[in-house]
């Protein structure tokens, strides 16, 4: 029997790799593992050489990816994890009429699909699936850690203590129970954060297209939420409607001494405007925590570099063992179901209208 072929473009890390490969091969899928981001390449070859094939390419190199699809029979499906851009040119090449196996399914082990040209995927007959909610608890916990780090100025205290300096804050900070948390986009992650923040005594409000349920207070406009929150946390997908949603005008609406958290997508915030706000001691924004950037991975660059009131992390909010295992295994199940013609109950991403 000719089994569907799957390119595992960037596998789950460490010991989760074996679990992911077990799930994929258990579905009788013919797997090609890209070794480029695998830590123990020799170990992977030794353990899996009888069941999977191997390749070694930079997943962010579109030309290399297109060449991989041109060699041999091609692939029915592709699985990605780290947001590798899959644009129209690649999708066209992967589904060209001369292909023995045109690409039919793209699976993302994660919630966001903004790295895929969804309009082009639909045009070329490619189904794009993802795993919404798989990292909701992980990202919510991370946002809470960002919040506590900034509101209690932990980074500055840590830096001074390592220098042997001893001292209390000049202005004692407020406790969480004195603060209002504003959530922009109370989906699965935003709701998980709201539950945790409410348990710590925070007042929680949110802006969304639909009214929110208790304990989250619904705020009808983004401007009102920005002007009435001490901490603003972003939990939105990146779409044409949300790109640059938070710019200079929006940042100027914030309460004095406020904090901004972004664990969503870099393009939602104008990083240049955010950097200017953080450099200005008269600006109402006191600090920001940013885990997602407009330019990431090998292209990582930001005007936020070297700002002491900017807490920067490399898109790791959702990277817990539980979340990554859930995403990898669910993605494998989704790929197998779609390739077998069983789409019922499988989450599918559609182009934004």
Catalytic residue set: 265, 296, 315
Q: Rounded to an integer, what is the distance from CA 216 to the centroid of its chain?
A: 23
* DSSP per position, 229-283: -SEEEE-----TTTTT-B-HHHHHTSPTTEEEEE-S-GGGB-HHHHHHHHH-TTS
How many Å apart are CA 98 and CA 87, to the nearest integer? Answer: 20
Burial of 306 per CB tally in 10 Å (0-12, 13-18, 19+): exposed
Q: Taking a C-beta distance cutoff of 8 angstroms, is the pair 262, 193 a contact?
A: no
319: helix, coil or strand?
Answer: coil
Nearest CA among 145, 104, 140, 148 for reference residue 122: 104
336: helix, coil or strand?
Answer: helix
Beta bridge partners of 290: 262, 312
User: How many residues are given for the chain?
Assistant: 353
Question: Which tokens in the block code for residue 5?
Answer: 């072929």
180: helix, coil or strand?
Answer: strand
Nearest CA among 136, 131, 132 for reference residue 330: 131
Burial of 221 per CB tally in 10 Å (0-12, 13-18, 19+): exposed
Residues 6+ apart with CB under 8 A from 183: 190, 193, 194, 204, 205, 206, 207, 216, 232, 233, 235
């Amino acid at each position: 029997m000719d089994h569907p072929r799957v390119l595992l473009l960037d596998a789950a890390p460490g010991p989760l790799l074996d679990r992911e490969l077990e799930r994929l091969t258990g579905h009788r899928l013919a797997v090609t593992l890209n070794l480029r981001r695998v830590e123990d390449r020799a170990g992977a070859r030794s353990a899996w050489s009888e069941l999977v094939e191997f390749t070694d390419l930079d997943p962010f190199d579109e030309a290399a990816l297109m060449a991989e699809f041109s060699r041999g029979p091609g692939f029915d499906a592709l699985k990605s994890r780290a947001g590798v851009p899959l644009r129209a040119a690649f999708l066209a090449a992967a589904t060209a009429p001369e292909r023995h196996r045109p690409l039919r399914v793209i699976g993302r082990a994660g919630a966001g699909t903004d790295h895929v040209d969804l309009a082009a995927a639909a045009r070329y007959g490619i189904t794009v699936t993802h795993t919404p909610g798989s990292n909701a608890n992980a990202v919510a916990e991370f946002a809470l850690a960002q919040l506590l780090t900034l509101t209690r100025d932990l980074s500055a205290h840590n830096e001074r203590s390592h220098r042997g300096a001893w001292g209390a804050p000049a202005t004692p900070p407020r406790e969480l129970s004195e603060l209002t948390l504003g959530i922009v986009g109370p989906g699965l992650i935003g709701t998980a954060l709201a539950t945790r923040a409410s348990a710590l005594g925070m007042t929680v409000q949110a802006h969304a297209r639909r009214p929110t349920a208790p304990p989250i207070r619904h705020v009808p406009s983004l401007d009102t939420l920005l002007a009435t929150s001490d901490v603003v946390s972003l939990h939105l997908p990146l779409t044409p409607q949300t790109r640059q949603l938070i710019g200079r005008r929006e940042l100027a609406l914030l309460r004095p001494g406020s904090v901004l958290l972004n664990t969503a997508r870099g393009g939602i915030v104008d990083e240049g405007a955010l950097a200017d706000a953080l450099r200005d001691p008269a600006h109402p924004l006191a600090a920001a925590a940013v885990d997602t950037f407009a330019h990431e991975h090998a292209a990582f660059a930001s005007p936020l570099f070297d700002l002491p009131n900017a807490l920067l992390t490399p898109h790791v909010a959702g990277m817990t063992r539980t979340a990554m295992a859930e995403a990898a295994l669910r993605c494998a199940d989704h790929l197998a179901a779609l390739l077998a013609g069983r789409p019922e109950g499988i989450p599918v991403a559609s182009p934004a209208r």
